[in-house]
Structure formats: C-alpha cells, structure tokens
Amino acid sequence: MKITGKSLGRHILAEMYNCNREVLNDLQKIKEIMTKAAIIAGAEVVEVVFHQFNPYGVSGVVVISESHLAIHTWPEYGFVAADLFTCGDHVDPWKAFEYLQSELQAEQVMTFEAKRGVLPLDADQFSYKPYKNEKVEEKEKVG
C-alpha cells in the first residue's frame, strides 16, 4: 500500500569514506562537530552522549527536540556511518550532512534520504511541538 501525504520527518543515512582518521578517533572533536552540525541544521540540542572505544572509534548521539543525529566512526578504515533524522519544516538535515562531510574531510560519500511518518494529511493538519529545553537555555544565559 502506498501512502501519500506530508511526512513527519526526513532521515538521511550517510556513509563517508576516506575521512581524517585522527579526527575520527578524537572524542571531543567528534562531539563538537556533531553538536555544531545540529545547530547549523537549525535544531535545538536537548542532550549529547558520546563514547570512546578502545583501541579506537567513537559513537554518539545528539538528541534534538526534532529527533536525533548519530555517528559511528571506524578510524582504522577512515569510515563514518551517520544517521541524521529531523522532524518539522525548520530543520534541514542536509545542512548537517554538508558540515559533517567538510569537517570529517570525507573524500567519498553515499547518502540515502527517507521520508519518515508519511501520513495522509494536509500540511495544515500537522502540528510540530518542539520541546523547549530549559536546561540548555539556562546554560546559554549563564555561559
């Protein structure tokens, strides 16, 4: 069955090859790049969680009020798998992708975009209710 209509979100799956191996193994740098990618896309960051693997590799997620951006790095292969899922009309996952591609110095990429939650509704029937994160706003005021 084919459903047509407006989608709740856009989901980009990206594979990046021949990336900068030093960057891919730098937990703090990957965390900063992913957080900035979310902001560049127009998203509101809710939570950031990253993990450094031994002997190498970083995985993490930036939870945004509009969904999430996730990354898994394989420095030994210069490879990255990224998952950029955004909801609403004001966030552009392709802006996040372009920033990641540039910062990770990917020489080759493969991408796929899926429309998520395609519902048989008119555009005026959708209501996006982004979560307002008081903790993030408070940090911005203090810092």
Is 19 labeled as catalytic in the residue annotation? no
Which residues are CB-neighbours of 20 under 8 A, at least 6 positions away? 78, 104, 105
Cα distance between residue 18 and residue 141, in whole Å: 39
The pLDDT, as a whole number, for residue 2 is 61
- Answer CATH for 7-122+131-142 from 1.10.760.10, 3.30.70.360, 3.40.50.720, 3.60.90.10: 3.60.90.10
Catalytic residue among 11, 19, 65, 67: 67
Is 7 labeled as catalytic in the residue annotation? no
The pLDDT, as a whole number, for residue 68 is 95
Catalytic residue among 7, 72, 90, 102: 72
Taking CA atoms, 79 is separated from 19, 32, 74, 111, in Å, by: 6, 18, 5, 14
Rounded-to-5 percentages of helix, strand, coil across the chain: 30, 40, 30
The pLDDT, as a whole number, for residue 130 is 42
The pLDDT, as a whole number, for residue 115 is 83
Q: Which residue has the tokens 């730098």?
A: 26
Catalytic residue among 7, 87, 102, 127: 87
The pLDDT, as a whole number, for residue 88 is 80
Q: Which amino acid is at 32?
A: E
pLDDT, mean of each 10-residue run, the chain (143 residues): 69 98 98 98 96 97 95 99 91 96 98 81 55 41 36
